[in-house]
Structure 1
Amino acid sequence: MVRAGLSTERLVRAGAELADEVGFEQVTVSALARRFDVKVASLYSHLKSSQDLKTRIALLALEELADRAAEALAGRAGKDALTAFADVYRDYARAHPGRYAATRHPLDAEAAAASAGGRHAQMTRAILRGYDLTEPDQTHAVRLLGSVFHGYVSLELAGGFSHSTPDSQESWTRVLDALDALLRNWPTP
């Protein structure tokens, strides 16, 4: 019998909150059961395993992030779009570190096809249209942006910039300025 009030959606949202509190790697069906004060077995009518829970949290996080990015990009182009997009990723990671970590969780082909990952790629390519890049340079630029955003945010979340000057916001602004300049002057092979 399914316990009243528990649903897959509620469990996944609670799992995402737990990830933000204790870290994505610490999220398990057992930890979630403790949060709801239920037996682990009672959650298996909603979730297959801890891996299934993590995949569902990843899908939720990718969707949340894509929704925020789409809203931030509306009506923007060029450097303004680049900055808005980058800031959404950074702000989301800072507000939801466990969920952000979940966005890097490996997805099988079926889950990847159902994820918002395609929306992220489309938005990145939409930004790059403002820089007049064609293939294969556009793909190279998508990879560059993803690497820079994720690398910077990961180092910042790990405290890598907390004890140095200038402050990380100033560096972030300079990084985005440099990316804009690079994209406007993309090197030819």
Structure 2
Amino acid sequence: MQLYAVDAGLMGNHLPMHQGTIAKLSYYLSLQTSHSLQLIVQNNLQIMVAHMKAMQQLLTPQDSGYVSLPPVQQLPTIGAVSSETDYLIALDGRLNAVSMAKEDFSSAMGMHTPMARNIHIEMALQKVQIAEQYEQFLLNAGLSVHPYASAEIQQALTEQYRAALASLSARHGSGARPKPAALQHA
């Protein structure tokens, strides 16, 4: 497939990250962890290998075929953390999946080859699914990565932005945009 230079460059940066993550996930599979965590890590590993293969296919000049990704395996029930090792691997796995999802989406927005852009958006969405599996694993043990805000904090934020929105509406009418200064004399 003929790619724009920026697309090839972005994938050239992604491939070593994927290679390192695959090595780390392979190591995690060698450790004694819960069966549920093993399934999540295996799922993550399979997705990372599929993403590397997709990028290699995109980078192959003679290959003009459609590039696709296998779906993320949905795990029926996800157990809970049973050791500190489980906890640390799940935290790292979630953080890595979130980070790579952001990287894939950000890269996709800078890509110019439609198939490369679309496959990277799909990769980002798959990494979000993997992050959610790690998150569920942690939540099942009562370990929330994100604490809930109190009702008071939520109410204070609502009031703060309600006032800001009212102020903006009063100044600019009901959604009408003000004319840029350069056009006001025209």
**TM-score (structure 1 length as normaliser):** 0.28
- The structure number with the bigger radius of gyration is 2
**TM-score (structure 2 length as normaliser):** 0.29
